[in-house]
Amino acid sequence: MEVIGAKGSGLYLKKNQRGGFDVLNKQKGNNNDIEEVFSLKPNNNTIKCEIFSTKYAIDFRPKVGKILGFSEKLLEINKLHSSDLPVNIIKVGTIHLDCSITSGAFYNGRPSHTIYEFAVSADPGYAIDETPTHLIYLPIINKKEIYNICVSVLDQNFELVNFKGEEIIVRLKIK
């Protein structure tokens, strides 16, 4: 039984148009004869990863499988395998909107500039449309003059969310 990554296996990675990769098998002596070795895809319903290999067993015993949600084991040929651990497919679970001119909010007992927080319910790749149901007005730091407002969109780890060039709209109501 041949294992992916074994010495002399003739396997290599090729970046695909979807931003992922394909593992391909290059036949000896023929540069044009290339076949797909296995498929790798996320399952958004179970938050797990699925792998199907047509030709090779996949060895996750050296701990590399944890990245894809697999515990340390050898995956059999011609069998659809679903990871036994959740994969971090959805990087952003919660969004915090922080506004530089507000005060009076607290997060875990510490002062914060968070004006709104919500759990992301949209699937990856789909638009997030969120409207607060109960408005709460926070005090403004300098009530006389506002020279600059900075609104940051942060994830559950308080890191900036990368919208990859997509337009976002945040509407503020100042009272």
Q: Please give the full DSSP string across 12-34, using - where no structure is assigned.
A: EEEE-TTSSEEEEEEPTT-TT-E
Task: Indicate whether this model's pTM tops 0.75.
Answer: no
Q: How confident is the model at residue 127 (pLDDT cuts 50, 70, 90)?
A: confident
CB neighbourhood size of 49 (10 A): 22
Q: Is 56 exposed, middle or buried (0-12, 13-18, 19+ CB in 10 A)?
A: buried
Q: How confident is the model at residue 33 (pLDDT cuts 50, 70, 90)?
A: low
Handedness of CA 27, 32, 33, 35 (dihedral sign): positive
Mean pLDDT of 61-70: 78
By the 10 Å C-beta count (0-12 exposed, 13-18 middle, 19+ buried), 131 is classed as exposed
Q: Terminal CA-to-CA distance of the chain, rounded, Å?
A: 70
Query: In this predicted model, which residue has the larger pLDDT, 92 or 21?
Result: 92
Mean pLDDT for the chain overall: 78
